[in-house]
Amino acid sequence: MTDQLIRAIEPRDHDAWSDLFTAYGVFYETEFSSAVLDGVWTWLMDPTHEVSALVAEVDGGDGPSLVGFAHLRRLSDTFTAGPAWSLDDLYVAPEHRGAGIARSLIAGCSATAHAAGRGTLRWITASDNTTAQRLYDTVATRTSWVTYEKET
């Protein structure tokens, strides 16, 4: 496992986060406009917004650098009348995959949710993202739910 630090995102992370989030979009064949990048960044810097982020930092010899992120969103759960959590986006730079960073980011999201009132942490991934699914199958329970979406 790589020496890593999982921490809350900070204003100084803007450029590195933007590069990683853009690469995440490319992975899912999506090009984020500057309006989307700016909008999500604004959410992440607002402590009252329901979306927050954790980042993974490693020491690369030239000092620490960001190599991954997880976006976490607090929800209200109608089945429990309590909190629930969505891990909306999880990304680790390709050259750092396999070092336990994604696992640590998921653990960090779980710890954040636990500290803020518990609840269920859920996430989705593409059906063909079998690499990610191999990790997810070791840290969570695969559900039988089918996801639908409709543009409005």
pLDDT at residue number 146: 87
Model pLDDT for residues 67-83, shown as the tens digit of each residue: 999 999 999 999 999 99
Model pLDDT for residues 43-61, shown as the tens digit of each residue: 999 999 999 999 999 987 7
What one-letter code names the amino acid at 133? Answer: Q
Rounded CA-CA distance 81/79 in Å is: 6
CB-neighbour burial class of residue 48 (10 A; exposed 0-12, middle 13-18, buried 19+): exposed
Rounded CA-CA distance 71/131 in Å is: 19
Kindly report the CATH number that applies to the domain delimited by 4-139. Answer: 3.40.630.30
Query: What CA dihedral angle connects 90, 26, 52 and 17, to 10 degrees?
Result: 110
Model pLDDT for residues 91-120, shown as the tens digit of each residue: 999 999 999 999 999 999 999 999 988 889
pLDDT at residue number 86: 96
Token pair belonging to 44: 């992440």
When the pLDDT of each residue in the chain is averaged and rounded to a whole number, the result is 93
| Boundaries of every domain in the chain | 4-139
Whole-structure pTM value: 0.93
Between residues 22 and 119, which one has the greater pLDDT?
22
Average pLDDT score over residue span 127-135: 93
Banded pLDDT at 42 (limits 50, 70, 90): very high
Average pLDDT score over residue span 6-22: 97
Between residues 20 and 62, which one has the greater pLDDT?
20
pLDDT at residue number 2: 54
pLDDT at residue number 3: 84
